[in-house]
Amino acid sequence: MANERIKPVDLPEPRYEYGADDHVFVELAEAMSFTANFKAMAITQQVAERDIEGVVENCPANASYMLRIDPEVIHPDDLIAELRELEAELDLEEYEWETRLIDVPVLFQDPWTHETLMEFRDRHQDADSTDLEYSARINGYDSVEAFLDAFVGAPHMVTMVGFVPGLPWCFQMVPRSEQLEVPKYVEPRTDTPSRAVGFGGAFSVIYPVQGAGGYQLYGRTPIEVLDVDQSLPDFGDSMVFPNPGDILNYRRIDRETYDEIREQVEAGTYEYTYERVRFSPEEFFESPHEYNERLTEVIE
């Protein structure tokens, strides 16, 4: 595979807006890109490090970010002035952050998501194919196996968490020419198994709870991304495990391994496999495939 360089995107001037009396919203770009997302990540990290008085919540998104404030402590205009200063000082070529490379075992073509996707074929673009067969075909792959090789062939970065509590949105760390893309269902499903691994647009997700959904369904992971009771060892600090900036490495497993891991989760003893790494946007842009190989080898 050619080691194509990723060219950073030229972003427009940020758009600063009020969100009622207690939020400041900043749009960095109208479209998702690595550049926009990395900048959102870097600025919100810097906001957290500065511990700006009056900022009570800090939420990066795909190409924007939002801060919740206490208006009795800080005026939105004063915060925006500091954000403008921070944005002007930031150089992504020199910025790095500490993050986690997380192993995510997945049973692809599992019985639970298969049953669900077959139940809702009338809401799909192609009633005669499974979600994986459809995704492989429209992305130019000859088989489901070849498509899955591409899906797990490079890690996926968590670009934001939201829509429903604990749902990680993940963008695969590959050049634009290699990105997989699929549409959502024509009409959303009324049911999706918890822990289902789905894909829509260019984003992979892990559904934290059972409920409605519209992304193509590929498999199911035995591990939790949301633990409301915080009973599992890795959820002591937060009921949500994946954070923006984390890197997920999806890994194929068989049914026996799935059941073994699920048994540990249900017994409350399972612990995530992950390594702390430093992420460098500059090194990633320069040589994404080589950089991904260096990253992932620490947990393989």
Per residue of the chain (300 residues), what is the pLDDT tens digit? 556 888 888 999 999 999 988 999 999 999 999 999 999 999 999 999 999 999 999 999 999 999 999 999 999 999 999 999 999 999 988 899 999 999 999 999 999 999 999 999 999 999 999 999 999 999 999 999 999 999 999 999 999 998 888 999 999 999 999 999 999 999 999 999 999 999 999 999 999 999 999 999 999 999 999 999 999 999 999 999 999 999 999 999 999 999 999 999 999 999 999 999 999 999 999 999 999 999 999 886
Helix-helix angle 76-89:34-50, to 10 degrees: 120
Please tell me the total count of domains within the chain: 2
Q: How many CB atoms lie within 10 A of CB 78?
A: 13
Q: Are residues 84 and 128 in the same domain?
A: no
pLDDT value for 75: 95
Residue type for 286, please? E
pLDDT value for 93: 84
For residue 18, the surrounding DSSP H or E stretch is strand 15-19
SS3 231: coil
CATH label of the domain that carries residue 215: 2.40.100.10
Does this model's pTM top 0.85? My answer is yes
In a domain, residue 44? The reply is: yes
Q: Are residues 264 and 183 in the same domain?
A: yes
Strand pairing report for 97-108 and 247-252: parallel
**Which of 93, 112, 143 corresponds to the end of one domain?**
93
In a domain, residue 43? The reply is: yes
Provide the domain limits for residue 199.
98-296
Taking the C-alpha atoms of residue 64 and residue 14, their distance in angstroms, rounded to an integer, is 9
Q: Are residues 53 and 136 in the same domain?
A: no
pLDDT value for 3: 65
In a domain, residue 199? The reply is: yes
Q: Are residues 117 and 64 in the same domain?
A: no
